[in-house]
Amino acid sequence: MKRARTFLAAAGLLALGLLSLVRGQAEALPPGPGRDLVLGKCQACHDLQYVVDSKGITRGQWEEVVENMKVMGLQLTPEEEEVLLNYLATYLGPNPPPPQAEDAEAAEPRSGEALYATFCASCHGPEGRGQANLFPPLRENPALQDPRYPVLVLLYGLEGPIAVGDQTYQGIMPSFGHLSDEEIAALVNYLRTAFAGVKEEVGPEAVAALRQSPLSPAEVLKKRP
Protein backbone atom coordinates (compact mmCIF):
# COMPACT_ATOMS: atom_id res chain seq x y z
CA MET A 1 0.00 0.00 0.00
CA LYS A 2 2.85 2.36 0.84
CA ARG A 3 4.34 1.87 -2.62
CA ALA A 4 0.96 2.45 -4.23
CA ARG A 5 0.46 5.70 -2.30
CA THR A 6 3.98 6.81 -3.26
CA PHE A 7 3.28 6.15 -6.92
CA LEU A 8 -0.06 7.94 -6.85
CA ALA A 9 1.54 10.92 -5.14
CA ALA A 10 4.13 11.02 -7.92
CA ALA A 11 1.33 10.89 -10.47
CA GLY A 12 -0.25 13.87 -8.77
CA LEU A 13 2.97 15.82 -9.12
CA LEU A 14 3.06 14.92 -12.79
CA ALA A 15 -0.46 16.24 -13.13
CA LEU A 16 0.84 19.58 -11.87
CA GLY A 17 3.36 19.58 -14.68
CA LEU A 18 6.50 18.19 -13.01
CA LEU A 19 7.64 15.85 -15.76
CA SER A 20 10.80 13.84 -15.24
CA LEU A 21 13.45 13.27 -17.89
CA VAL A 22 12.96 10.10 -19.90
CA ARG A 23 15.85 7.68 -19.53
CA GLY A 24 14.58 4.88 -21.74
CA GLN A 25 14.63 1.99 -19.27
CA ALA A 26 12.91 -0.48 -21.54
CA GLU A 27 15.12 -3.31 -20.37
CA ALA A 28 13.61 -3.05 -16.86
CA LEU A 29 10.19 -4.18 -18.09
CA PRO A 30 9.74 -7.96 -18.26
CA PRO A 31 8.73 -9.43 -21.62
CA GLY A 32 5.07 -10.22 -22.07
CA PRO A 33 1.97 -9.31 -24.10
CA GLY A 34 1.39 -5.58 -23.76
CA ARG A 35 4.99 -4.60 -22.99
CA ASP A 36 5.30 -2.55 -26.17
CA LEU A 37 2.08 -0.75 -25.32
CA VAL A 38 3.51 0.25 -21.92
CA LEU A 39 6.67 1.47 -23.62
CA GLY A 40 4.76 3.43 -26.22
CA LYS A 41 2.16 4.98 -23.93
CA CYS A 42 4.00 5.56 -20.65
CA GLN A 43 7.50 6.72 -21.47
CA ALA A 44 6.22 9.42 -23.80
CA CYS A 45 5.48 11.49 -20.69
CA HIS A 46 7.60 10.21 -17.82
CA ASP A 47 10.44 7.98 -16.72
CA LEU A 48 9.59 4.28 -16.79
CA GLN A 49 11.20 3.97 -13.36
CA TYR A 50 7.88 5.17 -11.91
CA VAL A 51 6.27 2.10 -13.41
CA VAL A 52 9.01 -0.33 -12.43
CA ASP A 53 9.22 0.94 -8.84
CA SER A 54 5.51 0.29 -8.37
CA LYS A 55 5.68 -3.42 -9.13
CA GLY A 56 3.79 -5.53 -6.64
CA ILE A 57 0.61 -3.49 -6.46
CA THR A 58 -2.77 -5.02 -7.25
CA ARG A 59 -4.80 -4.71 -10.43
CA GLY A 60 -7.21 -2.37 -8.67
CA GLN A 61 -4.33 -0.10 -7.72
CA TRP A 62 -2.98 -0.19 -11.29
CA GLU A 63 -6.46 0.81 -12.45
CA GLU A 64 -6.25 3.88 -10.20
CA VAL A 65 -2.84 4.73 -11.64
CA VAL A 66 -4.08 4.43 -15.22
CA GLU A 67 -7.13 6.58 -14.41
CA ASN A 68 -4.80 9.27 -13.04
CA MET A 69 -2.72 9.09 -16.21
CA LYS A 70 -5.87 9.45 -18.33
CA VAL A 71 -6.79 12.59 -16.40
CA MET A 72 -3.33 13.91 -17.29
CA GLY A 73 -3.89 13.27 -20.99
CA LEU A 74 -3.08 9.60 -21.63
CA GLN A 75 -5.14 8.44 -24.60
CA LEU A 76 -6.23 4.79 -24.66
CA THR A 77 -8.90 2.88 -26.49
CA PRO A 78 -10.87 0.44 -24.30
CA GLU A 79 -9.01 -2.43 -25.95
CA GLU A 80 -5.61 -0.82 -25.29
CA GLU A 81 -6.54 -0.13 -21.68
CA GLU A 82 -7.42 -3.78 -21.13
CA VAL A 83 -4.12 -4.94 -22.64
CA LEU A 84 -2.18 -2.37 -20.61
CA LEU A 85 -3.84 -3.36 -17.34
CA ASN A 86 -3.41 -7.06 -18.05
CA TYR A 87 0.32 -6.54 -18.54
CA LEU A 88 0.77 -4.36 -15.45
CA ALA A 89 -1.30 -6.63 -13.21
CA THR A 90 0.37 -9.80 -14.49
CA TYR A 91 4.03 -8.86 -14.85
CA LEU A 92 4.25 -6.01 -12.33
CA GLY A 93 1.59 -7.29 -9.94
CA PRO A 94 1.84 -9.12 -6.60
CA ASN A 95 2.50 -12.55 -8.15
CA PRO A 96 4.38 -12.15 -11.45
CA PRO A 97 5.32 -15.25 -13.46
CA PRO A 98 8.97 -16.39 -13.48
CA PRO A 99 11.17 -14.27 -15.79
CA GLN A 100 11.46 -15.63 -19.31
CA ALA A 101 13.82 -14.63 -22.08
CA GLU A 102 12.26 -13.07 -25.13
CA ASP A 103 12.21 -15.36 -28.15
CA ALA A 104 13.53 -12.98 -30.78
CA GLU A 105 13.48 -15.63 -33.50
CA ALA A 106 9.84 -16.50 -32.90
CA ALA A 107 8.65 -12.91 -33.13
CA GLU A 108 7.37 -11.92 -36.55
CA PRO A 109 8.79 -8.70 -38.00
CA ARG A 110 6.45 -5.77 -37.47
CA SER A 111 5.64 -3.36 -40.24
CA GLY A 112 6.53 0.30 -39.99
CA GLU A 113 2.83 1.13 -39.90
CA ALA A 114 2.25 -1.23 -36.96
CA LEU A 115 5.24 0.21 -35.10
CA TYR A 116 3.94 3.74 -35.68
CA ALA A 117 0.53 2.80 -34.27
CA THR A 118 2.16 1.30 -31.16
CA PHE A 119 4.84 3.84 -30.36
CA CYS A 120 4.07 7.12 -32.12
CA ALA A 121 0.38 7.66 -32.81
CA SER A 122 -0.57 8.48 -29.21
CA CYS A 123 1.52 11.68 -29.39
CA HIS A 124 1.79 12.51 -33.10
CA GLY A 125 -1.70 11.31 -34.02
CA PRO A 126 -2.80 8.46 -36.29
CA GLU A 127 -2.42 10.71 -39.33
CA GLY A 128 0.81 12.35 -38.18
CA ARG A 129 -0.72 15.76 -37.53
CA GLY A 130 0.71 16.15 -34.01
CA GLN A 131 -0.81 18.04 -31.08
CA ALA A 132 -0.73 21.82 -30.86
CA ASN A 133 1.96 23.19 -28.52
CA LEU A 134 3.03 19.68 -27.50
CA PHE A 135 4.04 17.32 -30.29
CA PRO A 136 5.00 18.46 -33.80
CA PRO A 137 3.30 17.18 -36.92
CA LEU A 138 5.17 14.56 -38.91
CA ARG A 139 3.06 15.02 -42.02
CA GLU A 140 4.97 17.23 -44.48
CA ASN A 141 7.67 17.77 -41.87
CA PRO A 142 10.84 18.78 -43.78
CA ALA A 143 13.07 17.08 -41.20
CA LEU A 144 11.95 13.72 -42.62
CA GLN A 145 13.73 14.46 -45.88
CA ASP A 146 17.05 13.68 -44.18
CA PRO A 147 17.37 9.88 -43.82
CA ARG A 148 19.76 10.08 -40.85
CA TYR A 149 17.88 12.51 -38.63
CA PRO A 150 14.73 10.45 -37.86
CA VAL A 151 16.96 7.46 -37.10
CA LEU A 152 18.90 9.53 -34.56
CA VAL A 153 15.68 10.78 -32.97
CA LEU A 154 14.39 7.25 -32.53
CA LEU A 155 17.70 5.94 -31.22
CA TYR A 156 18.49 8.69 -28.73
CA GLY A 157 15.39 10.84 -28.22
CA LEU A 158 15.05 14.58 -28.60
CA GLU A 159 14.96 17.44 -26.13
CA GLY A 160 14.52 21.17 -26.66
CA PRO A 161 12.30 23.54 -28.63
CA ILE A 162 11.77 22.82 -32.31
CA ALA A 163 9.95 24.89 -34.91
CA VAL A 164 7.72 23.42 -37.60
CA GLY A 165 6.17 26.07 -39.79
CA ASP A 166 5.13 28.96 -37.55
CA GLN A 167 4.65 26.77 -34.44
CA THR A 168 7.24 25.99 -31.74
CA TYR A 169 6.99 22.75 -29.76
CA GLN A 170 8.50 22.02 -26.34
CA GLY A 171 7.68 18.33 -25.88
CA ILE A 172 10.27 15.70 -24.91
CA MET A 173 10.75 12.82 -27.33
CA PRO A 174 11.84 9.60 -25.58
CA SER A 175 14.38 7.19 -26.98
CA PHE A 176 13.13 4.05 -28.70
CA GLY A 177 16.58 2.52 -28.92
CA HIS A 178 15.23 -0.74 -27.52
CA LEU A 179 13.76 -1.43 -30.97
CA SER A 180 15.90 -3.54 -33.28
CA ASP A 181 17.80 -2.05 -36.21
CA GLU A 182 15.27 -3.67 -38.55
CA GLU A 183 12.33 -2.19 -36.65
CA ILE A 184 13.78 1.32 -36.58
CA ALA A 185 14.53 1.12 -40.29
CA ALA A 186 10.97 -0.05 -41.00
CA LEU A 187 9.50 2.74 -38.85
CA VAL A 188 11.65 5.45 -40.44
CA ASN A 189 10.78 4.21 -43.92
CA TYR A 190 7.08 4.32 -43.04
CA LEU A 191 7.37 7.86 -41.65
CA ARG A 192 9.22 9.14 -44.68
CA THR A 193 6.96 7.43 -47.20
CA ALA A 194 3.60 8.10 -45.52
CA PHE A 195 4.21 11.63 -44.32
CA ALA A 196 6.95 13.09 -46.53
CA GLY A 197 6.49 11.23 -49.81
CA VAL A 198 10.09 9.97 -49.80
CA LYS A 199 10.61 6.60 -51.49
CA GLU A 200 14.32 6.19 -50.70
CA GLU A 201 14.65 3.58 -47.96
CA VAL A 202 16.91 3.38 -44.91
CA GLY A 203 18.44 -0.04 -44.25
CA PRO A 204 19.10 -1.68 -40.86
CA GLU A 205 22.84 -1.44 -41.52
CA ALA A 206 22.54 2.36 -41.51
CA VAL A 207 20.76 2.20 -38.15
CA ALA A 208 23.46 -0.10 -36.77
CA ALA A 209 26.16 2.34 -37.87
CA LEU A 210 24.45 5.26 -36.11
CA ARG A 211 24.24 3.23 -32.90
CA GLN A 212 28.02 3.26 -32.72
CA SER A 213 28.17 6.99 -31.89
CA PRO A 214 25.70 7.67 -29.05
CA LEU A 215 24.27 11.18 -28.71
CA SER A 216 22.36 13.00 -26.01
CA PRO A 217 18.84 14.22 -26.87
CA ALA A 218 20.17 17.81 -26.94
CA GLU A 219 22.91 16.79 -29.39
CA VAL A 220 20.30 15.17 -31.63
CA LEU A 221 18.44 18.48 -31.72
CA LYS A 222 21.56 20.23 -33.03
CA LYS A 223 21.57 17.86 -36.01
CA ARG A 224 18.04 18.81 -37.01
CA PRO A 225 18.14 19.86 -40.68
Give whole-number Cα distances, 190 to 100, 115, 119, 195, in Å: 31, 9, 13, 8
For residue 101, tell me if it sits in a domain.
no
Containing domain of residue 123, as a range?
A: 112-223
**Residue with more model confidence, 103 or 115:** 115
| CATH code of 196's domain | 1.10.760.10
> 47, 62, 92: which is the final residue of a domain?
92
Q: Looking at the domain assignment, is residue 8 inside a domain?
A: no
Q: Are residues 56 and 145 in the same domain?
A: no
When pLDDT is averaged across residues 127-133 and rounded to a whole number, the result is 88
Mean pLDDT, the chain, whole residue set: 81
Residue 105 belongs to a domain: no
> Which amino acid type is present at position 35?
R
pTM of the predicted protein model: 0.67
Asked whether the predicted pLDDT for residue 71 surpasses 80, the reply is: yes
Q: How far is CA 24 from the centre of its chain?
A: 9
Check whether residue 169 and residue 199 sit in a common domain.
yes
**Residue 2 and residue 4: Cα distance in Å, rounded?**
5
| pLDDT number for residue 94 | 87
pLDDT of residue 10 exceeding 70, the answer is no
Report yes or no: 3 and 53 within 8 Å, Cβ to Cβ. Answer: yes
Residue 215 binned pLDDT confidence (cut-offs 50, 70, 90): very high
Q: Which of 29-33, 71-75, 105-109 has the lowest mean pLDDT?
A: 105-109
Q: CA angle, corner 121, sides to 116 and 123, nearest 5?
A: 130
Asked whether residue 121 falls in the same domain as residue 166, the answer is yes
Note whether 49 and 138 are same-domain residues.
no
Domain count for the chain, please give it: 2
Say whether pLDDT at 51 is over 60.
Answer: yes
Q: Are residues 57 and 136 in the same domain?
A: no
Across 158-183, average pLDDT:
87
3-state SS assignment for residue 96? coil
- C-beta separation of 80 from 41 below 8 A: yes
